[in-house]
């Protein structure tokens, strides 16, 4: 649990619309607002295409935002920036990807992959210092210095993800976006990588945005969770609270899809199917409203009253 409530990121009314063929527009992010506190892990879950990756990429400014803003330590990330300012943000915010193989250059040695950021930001005083940092990073992520001169294809999926993590750590970031970092890994390896991320967070005071499909792992790693549906955050609460008291029908449907290793539970488990038509938003745009302390749900005024009665 993050032990302070200092905001590292403030995402305000963020929109990301993509123009696609035939004059159509995909509203990949459709007006989302949330904060990420220093030292916490904020989990973002939702089905495929709900806008999770686009949220991460827009925050880190791989895309310009269509509207809204992202503040990092109170400073606007988007908008016109000098080269020096951009470089500063690039160093403070790093990303870890789902497919470590696709994101590691196959023709570069592990040492050069890890040291890329060190070189760009001029963090090493000498060649010796550069290698010393690479060796330390390899050890930090559970690899060793013998791995430095090898190439990505010589490693297993879990090891490659460790290389991706070492590369992200090399520039000493404050904030890491992990976009489904374990989805491509064997189940037996997933927990190891999650535990590594947790340990690094404790040691270095890192803040994470952790994007996931897998609701069981996201619960384990996240302090708070935002549930995305069609470009909107429909529910946001502390992890325990969200799982114990889901309110939005979409969250309930997501949770009902998680199998548990309990035969009695499984025999009676009913999948809840979410039907967005159940909301009447014809005359009123839904808003994020607080139903229980720190527990927000996207709803209309009428739904708010109903939820308050049912869940308060």
Ligand X SMILES: Nc1ncnc2c1ncn2[C@@H]1O[C@H](COP(=O)(O)OP(=O)(O)OP(=O)(O)O)[C@@H](O)[C@H]1O
Interacting partner of 311 out of Mg ion, ligand X, none (Cβ under 5 to 8 A depending on kind): none
Measured CA to CA, the distance from residue 80 to residue 237 in angstroms comes to: 33
Measured from the CB atom, is 59 or 138 closer to ligand X?
A: 59
- Subset of 22-61 contacting ligand X (CB under 6 A): 26, 28, 46, 48-54
Residue 140 lies near Mg ion (rule: CB under 5 A): no
Q: Is 244 in the site for ligand X (CB under 6 A)?
A: no
Among 1, 13, 18, 202, binds ligand X (CB under 6 A): 18
Q: How far is CA 264 from CA 113, 228, 260, 273, in A?
A: 49, 30, 10, 21
- In angstroms, rounded to a whole number, what is the distance separating the alpha carbons of residues 120 and 91? 10
**What distance in Å separates the CA atoms of residue 288 and residue 12, rounded to the nearest whole number?**
13
Nearer to ligand X, 22 or 293 (CB): 22
- Told to check if 66 binds ligand X by CB under 6 A, we report no
Residue 84 partner contact from Mg ion, ligand X, none using kind-dependent CB cut-offs of 5 to 8 Å: none
* Interaction residues for ligand X, span 135-174 (CB under 6 A): none
Report in angstroms how near the CB of residue 18 gets to ligand X at its nearest. 3
Closest contact distance (angstroms) between CB of 157 and Mg ion is: 18
Applying CB under 6 A, does 79 fall inside the site for ligand X?
no
Interface of this chain with Mg ion, residues 38 to 97, rule: CB under 5 A: 53
In the sheet that holds 232-238, the strands lie side by side as 93-96, 175-179, 207-212, 41-45, 224-229, 232-238, 295-299, 287-292
Instruction: Output 53 or 94, the one with its CB closest to Mg ion.
Output: 53
Q: Cβ contacts of residue 28 below 8 Å, gap of 6+?
A: 16, 17, 18, 51, 54, 231
Q: How far is CA 285 from its chain centroid?
A: 27
- Count of residues binding ligand X (CB under 6 A)? 13
Q: Residue 300 interacts with Mg ion (CB under 5 A)?
A: no
Please give the torsion angle defined by the CA atoms of residues 78, 210, 299 and 17, in that order, rounded to the nearest 10 degrees. 40
Q: For residues 69 and 99, which CB has a smaller minimum distance to Mg ion in the complex?
A: 99
Nearer to ligand X, 51 or 152 (CB): 51
Residue 17 makes contact with ligand X by CB under 6 A? no
List contacts with Mg ion (CB under 5 A).
53
List contacts with ligand X (CB under 6 A).
18, 20, 26, 28, 46, 48-54, 213
């Amino acid at each position: 649990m993050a032990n302070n409530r200092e905001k590292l990121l403030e995402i305000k009314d963020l929109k990301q619309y993509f123009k696609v063929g035939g004059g159509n527009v995909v509203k990949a992010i459709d007006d989302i607002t949330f904060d990420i506190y220093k030292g916490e892990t904020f989990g973002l879950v939702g089905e495929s295409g709900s806008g999770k990756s686009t949220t991460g990429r827009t925050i880190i400014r791989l895309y310009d935002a269509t509207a809204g803003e992202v503040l990092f330590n109170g400073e606007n990330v988007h908008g016109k920036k000098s080269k020096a300012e951009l470089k500063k943000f690039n160093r403070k915010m790093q990303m870890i990807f789902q497919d470590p193989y696709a994101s590691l250059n196959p023709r570069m040695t592990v040492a050069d992959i890890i040291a890329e950021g060190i070189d760009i930001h001029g963090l090493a005083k000498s060649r010796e210092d550069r290698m010393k940092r690479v060796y330390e990073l390899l050890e930090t992520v559970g690899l060793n210095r013998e791995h430095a001169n090898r190439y990505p294809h010589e490693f297993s999926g879990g090891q490659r993800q460790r290389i991706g993590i070492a590369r992200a750590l090399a520039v000493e970031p404050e904030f890491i976006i992990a976009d489904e970092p374990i989805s491509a890994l064997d189940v037996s390896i997933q927990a190891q990588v999650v535990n590594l991320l947790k340990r690094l967070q404790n040691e270095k005071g890192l803040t994470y945005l952790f994007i996931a499909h897998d609701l069981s792992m996201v619960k384990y790693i996240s302090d708070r969770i935002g549930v995305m549906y069609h470009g909107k955050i429909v529910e946001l609460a502390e992890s325990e609270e969200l799982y114990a008291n889901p309110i939005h029908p979409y969250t309930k449907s997501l949770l009902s899809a998680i199998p548990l290793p309990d035969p009695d539970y499984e025999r009676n488990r009913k999948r809840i199917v979410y039907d967005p038509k159940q909301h009447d938003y014809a005359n009123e745009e839904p808003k994020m409203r607080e139903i229980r302390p720190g527990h927000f749900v996207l709803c209309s005024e009428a739904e708010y009253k109903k939820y308050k009665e049912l869940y308060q």
